[in-house]
Structure 1
């Protein structure tokens, strides 16, 4: 059986926010710091599946066309998904069960896309192996935290730190065994 790597790839402000309070990122992230500059296309090609929360899903749907066509995606939600894109499924309940389902499908790498509550849940069940982030040199003040209150401890070691345009950093951490 293939061992699954649980890989969170995210952008965050210096104060640890992944979005504005309304979920928006366009004014501080998308235009100035395109994901392609941080190796996102290669990362996405290597990810076998995506795991995300409902707020992240809803924010992506507001942008228009689904950005990950054909990529198996599980949205953690208690509400039905009206007219989801192909390969997008809703799941509720126990995160360990959701993780087990993805592992059972044989995915080598699963992208933990967020938001913070999904990240917190995956840390809690020990399914968080890699944190890859674009650290953006801005302070949002208010916003959605990468690690919300109640997130358990996690020891990481830095394996990559690369300076990018306009003072951003591309960081990769791995969980300490």
Structure 2
């Protein structure tokens, strides 16, 4: 990453045992039951820092009908900030604000987006998409919002690797609810 490049930040809610938040493992219910205005305000503040939200097609399809009609603190940035949808199959992106499609090679598309001027890029949704970013070593910073519960089952955020992914802790912020935000940078 050059000095002028935008960073790719992966922002992700995860259980203490590293599983994604889903209805099938009960973690979505845990996340939705937590009432922590301090943490939620910080999360929304960070969303406003994004130059674009990156996501896979399935996540885009699921969110485009939700965020425009829901009353939630995250709705304003989710609706206002441009989206980049990664998909090799046709997808319509006219329904939800400013959105574009990235259909080429993942690494090349990310390099192109990083080279554009603007604020940092936030990968916010889609287990498959986020795991592909991690496997291709494209993430510059991880913002893991660790929920105070172990899932036991579900999709692991980090795919299997032949060698450890070395990260450097740059910030740790605990919240009253027990959620801890851990920020890691890729170790050079």
Question: Do these two structures clear the TM 0.5 threshold for a shared fold by scoring above it?
Answer: yes
CA distance in 2: counterparts of 1:155 and 1:33, whole angstroms:
33
Matches within 5 A, 1:131-170: 131-149=142-160, 153-170=164-181
Aligned-pair distance for 1:135?
0.5
Return the alpha-carbon distance in structure 2 between the equivalents of residues 35 and 113 of structure 1. Answer: 20
Moved more, 94-103 or 80-89: 80-89
Superposed CA offset, 1:60-82 (max 9, x none): 23535273123121111233334
> Among 65, 68, 89, which residue is 1:65 paired with?
68
1:12 is displaced (CA, Å) by 0.4
Note the C-alpha offset of 1:149: 4.0
1:136-159 Cα shifts (integer Å, max 9, x gaps):
111223323212345974211112
TM-score where L is the length of structure 2: 0.78
Runs of at least 5 residues in structure 1 that lack an aligned partner in the other structure: none
Q: Does 1:45 align with 2:42?
A: no
The reply on whether 1:113 has 2:124 as its aligned counterpart is yes
2:87 equivalent to 1:77 = yes
C-alpha distance in structure 2 between counterparts of 1:144 and 1:163, whole Å: 24
CA displacement, residues 109-152 of structure 1 (integer Å, 9 cap, x when unaligned): 10011323322332344321111121011122332321234597
Which of 2, 5, 9 aligns to 1:3? It is: 5
Is the alpha carbon distance of 1:48 and 1:152 closer, same or farther for their aligned partners in structure 2, counting shifts above 3 Å?
farther
Contact 1:21–1:143, Cα closer than 8 Å, also in 2? no
**Deviation of 1:21 (Å):** 6.0
TM-score, structure 1 length as denominator?
A: 0.82
1:8 match: secondary structure: strand
Distance (whole Å) between structure 2 residues aligned to residue 88 and residue 17 of structure 1: 29
